[in-house]
């Protein structure tokens, strides 16, 4: 039973940390310095360690953002290569679609395909994750 509260606390802490940015953390540090006891000032090494942690956090957030952009570009590049190719996809509703990728659109920065079936019907809004086979 003791593990459930720890897991819940951990997930809350990680959610709160992911919403903080460098400015928020620097504001906390400035508040800490403003209200510190003048008879017990913060040690320079502790202060520098906190600044290094803030810089590291900011760098990590920038890397995560760049990785997200890279993955989006990779998905777009893969999808562009599918135009004109025969594919089989299973939609989120469970329907199997076979046909040719006719167009590519971006919805919220994510590639979505329109598949033209052998009957001439167009099935829009198919994601690359729904593809089962490419011929």
Instruction: Report domain extents, the chain.
Output: 3-77, 83-134
Question: Could you list the mean pLDDT of each consecutive 10-residue stretch along the chain, which spans 135 residues?
Answer: 42 51 76 77 72 82 90 85 92 89 87 91 89 89
Q: Does domain 83-134 have CATH number 2.30.30?
A: yes
Buried-exposed string 90-116: b where 16+ CB fall within 10 A, e elsewhere:
eeeeeeebebbbeebeeeeeebbbbbe
The reported pTM is 0.52
């Amino acid at each position: 039973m003791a593990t459930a509260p720890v897991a819940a606390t951990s997930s809350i802490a990680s959610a709160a940390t992911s919403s903080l940015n460098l400015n928020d953390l620097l504001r906390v540090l400035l508040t800490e310095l403003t209200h510190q006891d003048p008879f017990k000032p913060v040690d320079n090494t502790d202060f520098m360690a906190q600044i290094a942690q803030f810089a590291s956090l900011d760098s990590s957030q920038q890397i995560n953002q760049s990785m997200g952009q890279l993955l989006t570009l990779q998905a777009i590049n893969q999808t562009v290569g599918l135009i004109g190719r025969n594919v089989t996809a299973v939609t989120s509703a469970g329907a199997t679609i076979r046909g040719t990728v006719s167009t590519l659109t971006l919805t919220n920065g994510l590639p979505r395909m329109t598949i033209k079936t052998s009957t001439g019907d167009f099935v829009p809004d198919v994601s690359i994750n729904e593809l089962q086979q490419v011929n």
